[in-house]
Amino acid sequence: MTAAELVGIERRGAVAQVTVNRPEALNALNMGLARAGSGAGDGRG
């Protein structure tokens, strides 16, 4: 699964909503997911 499939980011002005998409793992975090979402707050993710 690619990073774009694991983490969804929706921005509305100054607010960003980050959605985790790993239902098979009950949305548990792992290193790949942490890397995929690490830039979510600064526009890199």
The pLDDT score that the predictor gives to residue 13 is 92
Q: What is the pTM of this model?
A: 0.52
Tally the domains of the chain: 1
Surface-to-core class of residue 40, CB atoms within 10 Å of its CB (0-12 exposed, 13-18 middle, 19+ buried): middle
* Tens-binned pLDDT, residue by residue, of the chain (45 aa): 676 677 788 889 988 888 888 888 888 877 777 776 666 656 554
The pair phi, psi for residue 2, each rounded to 5°, is: -80, 165
The pLDDT score that the predictor gives to residue 7 is 79
The pLDDT score that the predictor gives to residue 38 is 67
d(C-alpha 43, C-alpha 45), whole Å? 6
| Enclosing domain of residue 19 | 3-42
